[in-house]
Amino acid sequence: MLCVGIRKQPLSQASKAEAMSVLLSQSSRRFARPLTLVVAVLLAVVAATGLLAIQYRQERQAADLAHERSRQVLETLDRLRAVIADVEAQRRGYLLTLDPSYLKAYGISDESVRRDAQALQALVANDPLQNHRAGHLALTVAAKLREIDDIVKTAGTSGLAALAMIRSLDEIRSQIDQMVDHERFLLVDQEKRAKVLEQRKAWLIATAIVIVAVLAVVALALARLEATRRRKAIAENIALHGDLLARDKKIRRLVDANIVGIVIWNLEGRILEANDAFLHMLGYDREDLTSGRLNWTDLTPAKWRDRDARAAEELRRTGTVQPSEKEYFRKDGSRVPVLLGGVMFEQGPNQGVSFVLDLTERKRAEEALRQSEERFRTLVQFSFDVYWETDAQHRFIHQEFADNLADAPRSGSEIGKTRWEVPYLEPDEEAWRKHRETLDAHLPFRDFELARLAPDGSKRYVSVSGLPMFDDTGRFVGYRGVGRHITERRRAEETLRAMQAELAHANRVTTMGQLTASIAHEVNQPIAATVTNAEAALRWLSARPPNLGEVRDSLRRIVEDGKRAGNVINGIRALINKVPPRNDRFDLNEAILEMVALTRSEMLKHGILLQTDLAPGLPMVKGDRTQLQQVILNLILNAVEAMEGIEERAGALRINSEREAAGGVLVTVRDSGPGLDPADVERVFEAFYTTKAKGMGMGLAICRSMVEAHGGRMWAGANEPRGAVFQFSLPLEQDESVQARLIRSNPAA
Ligand code: ADP
C-alpha cells in the first residue's frame, strides 16, 4: 500500500551516499599528498634514467663508430703496409734483374697506393693527430713513389743506390707503424670506455628494474585502495538497501498498527487510500473510501480551506509540508481537531501520503490545563499579592504581582537578587539569620514577616511563605511561594492593640467623664450631709449647756457620711485605675444597684423611667466585680444614649436579674429606643462597629469578651413592643480555667 519512493527517504539515502563519497574523497585526499610525492619522485627518477639511457645510447654509438673506424684504419694501414711491401719487392726485383716481368708480376699501380693513402686520410679526418700523420704519410708515399719511378726509368745507372732508395720505404713503414700504434692505443682506450659503458648499462638496467618494481607496488597499492573504496561503497549500498527495506517494513507496520491515521491522496483532493485509524477518526468506513466519495476538500471546514491551498502549494514546490493543526468534519458533521503532515511520492504524479493525528484528547487536556491554570491564577490573584520563585542560590527567578497591588515593585527589578538584597527594613538581624538558616536547610517556611518602604515613605508589611523545590534526583533547585501584603492587617492590629489598651483605661475614664455629674452628686450628698451634721454639732456645742449627746450623734453621722463618700471615691478609683483582675465573691444585685445609682442623674436628665426587677436571694457571684460592673454600666449607658433622641415619648429602662434554669444567673437590660436592625444583631458585638458620630464601637465587644472570660454568654435581641434587649448570663461555679481566662483577657492587666 505504501510505495517506498517517498521523496524524503531516497533523499536521506542520497545524503548518506554523499557522506560516503565525501568520506572516501577525504580519505583519498589524505593519501593524495604522499602519493603525488611518490609519483613525482618516480617520474624524476624515470626521467633521469631515461636521460642517462639516451646518453648511454649516444655514447655507445659513438664508441662503436670509433671502434669501427679504428678497425678500418688498422685494416687500411695493414693493406697499405702490404701494398708498400709489394711495391718494394716489385721494384727491387726489377732493379736487381732489370727484368720488366717483375714490374708486371705484382701488377700494382702507384694509383692504388695513393688511393689507400687518401682513404686513410678520410678515415682519420676526425682525429687531428692521425689526420696530420695520414697527410704526411700520403705526401711521403707520393714522394717516395715518384723517386722510385724516376730510379726505375733510369735503371741501370746505379742499382745499388736504387736499392738504397727503395729501402728508404722504411720511412713510410715507420710512419705506418706510428699510426698503427696510435690507433691501437685508441682501441685500448675505446675498450676501457666500452667497459665503463657496460657498467653503466648494468646500472641503468638495475635502476629500470627498481623503477618498474616500485611502479608495480604503487599501482598495486592504488588498485587495493580503489578496491577497498568500491567494497565500502558496495557495502554501503547494501546497507542502504537493507535500511530502505527495514524502513518500508516499519512504515507498513505503522500504517497497519493504526496508531495514527495514514492517508494517500492526490493533489486534486481525492483520498485514494486510508488506514482504519483515519476512517475511524472521521467516522467513515471502508465502503465510503472504496466508493471514492472521500474528498479532503469536502472533509475540511471552510475556515481551513486557505490553509489547505497553501499546503498544496508547498507540496508542489518542495514535495513536503510541515505538520500543522487543522480540523476535519466527521461523518456526523461534528469536527475533529487533527495534526497533519505530508510528503509527495517521487513516483506517481501528484500523489502523496499524510499522517493524521487526532488531537481531541490533547485539546481537552490543554483546555483542562488552561482552566486549571486560570483557577490557580484566580486563587492566587485573590488569595495572595505576590507569587515568587527563587533558584538554588535564593535569587528571584520569577515574580508575579496581583493586578490591584499598590506600590508593587517594577516588574523584573528584583529578578536575579536575593530577598536580602532588595531593600527591606525589617525584620531584625536575628530574624534574618533564622530565616537564612531555614533557607539553607531547604525547609518550608510560613508567614515570615518583613517590611518594605513605600514610595511615600510609609512602611508596607509583607508576609512571605515558601516551599522548597527538588528535581527528580532530589537535588534542591530553589523555592516557590507566595507573599501577602499585611499592611492593613498590621495597622488594624496595632490600632486594635493600642485601642484595647486605651479602652480598658479610656472607656472607664470616658465613662467617668460622662458621669462626673452623678459622681459629684453622689459625693456631694455625703459631703453636704457631713457639713450639715458638723454645723449641727457646732450648734449643739455652742448651746448653754452644750448638748453633748446631740454632738455625738452628729459626729457619728459625719463619720458615716465620710465613709460613704470614701466608698464612692474608692469605687470610682477602682474603675479608673488599671487594677489587676480580681476574684471576688460578690452580690450581683448590689453591684447592679451601684451602677444604677451612678447613672441615675443621667437618666433623670433625659427623663428616662427606670424599673429594676432584681430577683431576691440570688447566690453570690464569683469574678471581677469591677469588670462586671463595667459591663452593666456600658449596657445602661448604651440604652440611655439610644433613647436620648426620642422626643415623642418618655424612655423606659428595665433591668432584670434572675436565676437561670441551667443554674446560672441572667441579667437583662431592656430599653424602648429605636432597637437593633435584625441584620446587625451580631455585628454590634464586633470591635469598632458603631453608628454614633463619636462612638468607638468597642463597648459591646469588650463587654462580651469580659462576660465570656467569666464563662458566661452575652447576646442581643429585640424588645417588645419596641427597643433593644441586651442579656448576659454567668455561671455560678467558677473553676480554675475560668480564672485563667479571666486573667488572660483582662486588657488592663
Ligand atoms: P459605641 O460606643 O459606639 O456605642 P458599642 O459597642 O457600645 O459602641 O455599641 C455598638 C453599636 O451598637 C452602637 O453604635 C449602636 O449602634 C448599637 N447599640 C448598642 N446598644 C444599643 C441599644 N441599646 N439600642 C440600639 N442600638 C444599640
Query: What would the pLDDT profile of 663-709 be if each residue is shown by its tens digit?
Result: 899 999 999 999 999 988 999 998 778 888 777 677 888 788 888 88
pLDDT at 394 over 60: yes
Of 470, 481, 489, which is closest to residue 435 (Cα–Cα)? 481
The alpha carbon of 606 and the centre of ligand 1 are apart by a number of angstroms equal to 18
Domain identity same for 190 and 304 = no
Write the CA distances from 209 to 40, 53, 221, 348, 576, integer angstroms.
Answer: 18, 13, 18, 62, 137
Provide the percentage of residues in the chain whose pLDDT is more than 70: 83
pLDDT in tens, 459-472: 888 889 999 999 88
pLDDT in tens, 240-259: 888 888 887 887 787 787 77
The alpha carbon of 646 and the centre of ligand 1 are apart by a number of angstroms equal to 16
* CATH number of domain containing 153: 1.20.120.230
pLDDT in tens, 489-513: 888 777 766 665 555 555 555 555 5
- Nearest atom in ligand 1 to 723's CA: 24
Site to probe by mutation for ligand 1, drawn from 631, 638, 698, 722 as the one with most ligand atoms within 8 Å of Cβ, is: 638
Domain identity same for 529 and 676 = no
pLDDT at 748 over 70: no
Cα(629)–Cα(591) distance, integer angstroms: 6
Task: Please give the tally of structural domains in the chain.
Answer: 4
pLDDT in tens, 477-490: 999 998 888 888 88
Domain identity same for 97 and 212 = yes
pLDDT at 746 over 50: no
- Nearest atom in ligand 1 to 700's CA: 6
Domain identity same for 208 and 308 = no
The answer to whether 3 and 345 have CB atoms below 8 angstroms apart is yes
* CATH number of domain containing 609: 3.30.565.10
pLDDT in tens, 434-459: 899 999 999 999 988 888 777 787 88
Domain identity same for 209 and 288 = no
The alpha carbon of 649 and the centre of ligand 1 are apart by a number of angstroms equal to 21
pLDDT at 740: 47
pLDDT at 547 over 80: yes
Site to probe by mutation for ligand 1, drawn from 653, 684, 714 as the one with most ligand atoms within 8 Å of Cβ, is: 684
In this prediction, residues 354-359 reach a mean pLDDT of 90
pLDDT at 269: 84
Residue 133 lies in a domain: yes
pLDDT at 510: 57
pLDDT at 698: 74
pLDDT at 8 over 60: no
Residue 450 lies in a domain: no
Residue 4 lies in a domain: no
The alpha carbon of 674 and the centre of ligand 1 are apart by a number of angstroms equal to 11
Residue 354 lies in a domain: yes
Domain identity same for 269 and 308 = yes
pLDDT at 337: 92
Domain identity same for 597 and 553 = no
Residue 725 lies in a domain: yes
Domain identity same for 273 and 165 = no
In this prediction, residues 82-110 reach a mean pLDDT of 72
Residue 650 lies in a domain: yes
pLDDT at 279 over 50: yes
Site to probe by mutation for ligand 1, drawn from 608, 680, 691 as the one with most ligand atoms within 8 Å of Cβ, is: 691
Look at residues 350, 365, 380 and tell me which one is the last residue of a structural domain.
365
The alpha carbon of 632 and the centre of ligand 1 are apart by a number of angstroms equal to 14
The alpha carbon of 749 and the centre of ligand 1 are apart by a number of angstroms equal to 25
pLDDT at 747: 40
pLDDT at 9 over 70: no
Cell numbers placing 546:
452644750
Cα(368)–Cα(548) distance, integer angstroms: 104
Domain identity same for 608 and 661 = yes
Residue 307 lies in a domain: yes
Residue 206 lies in a domain: yes
pLDDT at 634 over 80: yes
Domain identity same for 203 and 128 = yes
Per-residue pLDDT band for 129 (boundaries 50, 70, 90) equals confident
The alpha carbon of 718 and the centre of ligand 1 are apart by a number of angstroms equal to 13
- Nearest atom in ligand 1 to 671's CA: 23
User: Over the chain, what is the mean pLDDT?
Assistant: 81
pLDDT in tens, 136-193: 888 888 888 777 777 777 755 456 666 666 666 788 888 888 889 988 898 898 889 8
- Nearest atom in ligand 1 to 701's CA: 6
pLDDT at 609: 92
- Strand pairing report for 459-470 and 584-586: unpaired
Look at residues 365, 398, 420 and tell me which one is the last residue of a structural domain.
365
Write out the H or E segment, with its range, that includes residue 666.
strand 665-670
Residues having CB within 6 Å of any atom of ligand 1: 638-639, 642, 671, 673-674, 676, 684, 689-692, 695-701, 724
Look at residues 315, 346, 365 and tell me which one is the last residue of a structural domain.
365
The alpha carbon of 501 and the centre of ligand 1 are apart by a number of angstroms equal to 20
Cα(556)–Cα(99) distance, integer angstroms: 235
Per-residue pLDDT band for 572 (boundaries 50, 70, 90) equals low
pLDDT at 4: 33
- Nearest atom in ligand 1 to 691's CA: 14
pLDDT at 162: 61
In this prediction, residues 285-299 reach a mean pLDDT of 86
Residue 349 carries which side chain, given as an amino acid letter? Answer: P
- Higher-confidence residue of 140 and 334: namely 334
Per-residue pLDDT band for 31 (boundaries 50, 70, 90) equals low
Domain identity same for 527 and 654 = no
The alpha carbon of 499 and the centre of ligand 1 are apart by a number of angstroms equal to 17
**62: Cβ–Cβ under 8 A, 6 or more apart, which residues?**
none
The residue range of the domain holding 508 is 493-558
In this prediction, residues 3-7 reach a mean pLDDT of 34
pLDDT at 50 over 80: yes
pLDDT at 581 over 60: no
Site to probe by mutation for ligand 1, drawn from 646, 654, 683, 690 as the one with most ligand atoms within 8 Å of Cβ, is: 690
In this prediction, residues 609-638 reach a mean pLDDT of 89
The pTM of this model reads 0.32
The alpha carbon of 229 and the centre of ligand 1 are apart by a number of angstroms equal to 106
Domain identity same for 551 and 636 = no
CA dihedral over 37, 42, 43, 47, signed as positive or negative: positive
Per-residue pLDDT band for 574 (boundaries 50, 70, 90) equals low
**154: Cβ–Cβ under 8 A, 6 or more apart, which residues?**
none
